[in-house]
Structure 1
Amino acid sequence: MVDRDRFPVQVEGVTLELSNLDKVLYPAAGFTKGEVIDYYTRVAPVLLPHLADRPLTRIRYPNGVGGNGFFEKNAPAGVPDWVRVETLPAPGSTKGREALDYVIADDLPTLVWLANLAALELHVPQWTVGSSGPDRLVVDLDPGPPAGLTECAEVALLLRERLRSDGLEPLPKTSGRKGMQLMCALAGTQPADEVAGYARRVAEELERDNPRLIVARMAKNLRPRKVFIDWSQNNAAKTTVAPYSMRAEPTPTVSTPLTWPELEKGRVRQFRADEVLSRVKRYGDLFADLPGGGAPEVPRAPRRS
């Protein structure tokens, strides 16, 4: 008997079995699993460079975003032999494991395989396999209602000038949810705690200068009406949603790279998967310089007051 919900496809010479393509994963938008796979296939040329050599944490929603999702760091059972898996230390493991078998999504077949598993969200650390330190600095901008993306954009512009004063070149993107992130390429030669310490100093400095707009402390009761600059994303155990990853929201929003003129003009919002594909066609990869060589280190010592 033929299973009409399963069929093989060829992706770059690899045979995969796809299933349940008509299953709706975003009920509010009627967005199906087949459309998720189509999005990840079409966005792959700009997404894969940001996943390459990075141990991948997936958030899977087999029953759609209205059902229960789950984090998955370890490679699942039955992983195909053509999928790259690396056994690596697992800092901060909630199950006390010293190491995990991480999936590395370096190619299109792996990306399609993950999408077929309903891995809607793709999260990566700020370091690559075999690196001596993080090659990215990340700051997460989390607005406390009624603050929103407008306030995040205002803080992002302040951060841009502050980071540029230290020789860093930040790139902005939406989170795909309510906030934003800035990412900077780094030399990859410093330990994570040094990078996190720098990010914290910058966040605290901006909080002192802009106390009505910015908070750099973790306490949630301090966040209403302000933008929390989360510097802790630079901890070696933390991951951040990858550029161009989908999010498990009611509609299929995506963590979307932005242009600085968009922020300067106040034209910031969350974008859906179809809109992101149109943006890629127009702009290419706005984060193309992020993995680039010749990046700087962060300053090691605080500024003198």
Structure 2
Amino acid sequence: MTPITEVEGHRLALSNLEKVLHPATGFTKGELLHYYATTADALLPHLRDRPLSFLRYPDGPDGQVFFAKNVPPGTPDWVTTAEVPRAEGPARMVLVQDLASLMWAANLVTEFHTPQWRVGTPDVADRLVFDLDPGAPATVVECCRVALWLRERLAADGIEAYAKTSGSKGLHLLAPVEPTPSQRTTEYAKRLAVEAERAMPRLVLHRMTRSLRPGKVFVDWSQNAARKTTAAPYTLRARPEPTASAPVTWEEVAGCGSPGALVLCARDIAPRLQAYGDLLAPLLDPVRARPLPA
């Protein structure tokens, strides 16, 4: 029998709670739901008003993994949705605005991915993002070196950057910016990626060309494009272990000396929130947003 629970006045059927989703640790769907419930205060502000793309893995990372952008069939009528523009025509997408809709979406077993803009202002970014992706044998250690360079370069333009793990192999850098057309944020991010490659040619790559990537860090600037999305802060990832895309301090980035040093799993996040609060809270503060240089 599927358990029924009430969240903020809405009845939810939470299914298959004993199913093991992350085989490396035996992490179950019930534990996944508990993670999102206890992380909601930090997670929800980063999802609010951003149309969600779901990377679903209902049978774990070894099962079928697929992206879902449109409102899933059977979505309750109390879940907020919005029509958003796309190149192929407008689409209706989910907005996770509250704990009830977060738990409904988590019950689908999904990674949460968001664009750099909010509904109502598509193509106008309020965040800048770099996805630092290492090509073996490079690891997150090399990503941290690149992140420190980018942090300093952004600071020279008056922009303060914040770091989070990707939840996979690499690192994400994010910065709050004044509302800016996505095309302009993309151009600026590409310019800095090119500068980073010139400054560290043996370490950095700004092109996605697979044959060039071994031993280098690909600075993916393209996720600033309006059509692109990035793994949201605190989302769990479809990996053998329940790794989270979670914020880290700059001290941790500077001190990263081994590939496993910045691996954060579901069990790590509550203690970190208690110790640090939400390290990415400045992304939500419009006072901290800075204009891009002309």
Q: What TM-score comes out, normalization by structure 2 length?
A: 0.96
1:86 aligns to what SS in structure 2?
strand
- Who is 1:303 aligned against? none
Query: Is residue 213 of structure 2 the alignment partner of residue 223 of structure 1?
Result: yes
Which moves more between the two structures, 172-181 or 21-30? 21-30
- Who is 1:299 aligned against? 293
- Who is 2:188 aligned against? 198
Structure 2: runs of 5+ lacking an equivalent: none
One-letter amino acid matched to 2:175: C
Structure 1: runs of 5+ lacking an equivalent: 301-305
Equivalents in 2 of 1:173, 1:99: separation in Å?
31
Q: 2:106 aligns with which of 97, 115, 122?
A: 115
2:290 aligns to what SS in structure 1?
coil
- Who is 2:119 aligned against? 129
Which moves more between the two structures, 168-177 or 25-34? 25-34
Q: String of CA shifts for 1:140-169, please: whole Å, max 9, x gaps.
A: 101111110111111000000000000111
Q: 1:214 aligns with which of 198, 201, 204?
A: 204
2:178 aligns to what SS in structure 1?
coil
Query: Is residue 269 of structure 2 the alignment partner of residue 276 of structure 1?
Result: yes
Equivalents in 1 of 2:132, 2:156: separation in Å?
20
Equivalents in 1 of 2:92, 2:207: separation in Å?
34
5 Å-filtered alignment, 1:225-240, equals 225-240=215-230
Query: Is residue 92 of structure 2 the alignment partner of residue 101 of structure 1?
Result: yes
5 Å-filtered alignment, 1:1-305, equals 4=1, 6-91=2-87, 96=88, 98-119=89-110, 121-131=111-121, 133-188=124-179, 190-266=180-256, 268-294=261-287, 295-300=289-294
In the alignment, is the contact (CA less than 8 A) between 1:256 and 1:270 conserved in 2? no
Equivalents in 2 of 1:224, 1:197: separation in Å?
25
One-letter amino acid matched to 1:15: R
1:203 aligns to what SS in structure 2?
helix
1:73 CA displacement = 0.5
In the alignment, is the contact (CA less than 8 A) between 1:125 and 1:239 conserved in 2? yes
Q: String of CA shifts for 1:231-264, please: whole Å, max 9, x gaps.
A: 1010100000001000000000000100001111
Q: Number of aligned pairs?
A: 289
1:296 CA displacement = 1.2
Seq. identity, %: 50
Q: What TM-score comes out, normalization by structure 1 length?
A: 0.93
In the TM superposition, structure 1's runs of 4+ consecutive aligned residues that sit over 6 Å from their partners are: none
In the alignment, is the contact (CA less than 8 A) between 2:256 and 2:262 conserved in 1? no
1:112 CA displacement = 0.5
1:131 CA displacement = 2.1
One-letter amino acid matched to 1:299: P
2:53 aligns to what SS in structure 1?
strand
